[in-house]
Amino acid sequence: MFELRVKGRFSAAHMLRGYRGKCARLHGHNWEVEVAVEAEGLSEAGMVIDFGELKGMLGEVLDELDHKLLNDIPPFDRLNPTSENIAKWIFDRMKEKLSGFEGVRVSSVTVRESEGVAASYRE
């Protein structure tokens, strides 16, 4: 099995509902996102997928969140915009974007909202 990883970033604000703590108040983070994709075989060019193409897809997905108030963007208008839920949302968006690439699957998405903490989602 081969696995590729690409990283991206976005900056956004959020506030957590039903949570007693500082994160209940409006604040922002510079999120770091790492996406891993996997494939059992390689293309004729010897790749899982072109790194540039994969980074481009992640960039498009993160643009949807960048410099926004996450609580305004569905599904985060109902679902708490925690790192865990953001990781799953990015996973689902990347899965859609990779649907045309046979044999290539999203293996995990990791979201870091601050130094030393990370949340990952995988199916």
d(C-alpha 47, C-alpha 2), whole Å: 9
Nearer to Zn ion, 76 or 98 (CB): 76
Shortest distance, position 113 Cβ to Zn ion, whole Å: 6
Find the catalytic residue in 3, 40, 67, 96: 67
Confirm if 109 and 96 have CB atoms less than 8 A apart.
Answer: no
Shortest distance, position 47 Cβ to Zn ion, whole Å: 36
Instruction: Write out the binding residues for Zn ion, residues 14-43 only, by CB under 5 A.
Output: 23
Strands 27-39 and 119-121: unpaired
Nearer to Zn ion, 12 or 104 (CB): 12
23 is catalytic: yes
Shortest distance, position 74 Cβ to Zn ion, whole Å: 19
**What is the 8-class DSSP label of residue 69?**
B
Nearer to Zn ion, 45 or 117 (CB): 117
d(C-alpha 96, C-alpha 117), whole Å: 27
Confirm if 58 and 94 have CB atoms less than 8 A apart.
Answer: yes
Q: Which residues of the shown chain bind Zn ion in the complex (CB under 5 A)?
A: 23
Which residues participate in catalysis according to the annotation?
23, 67, 113
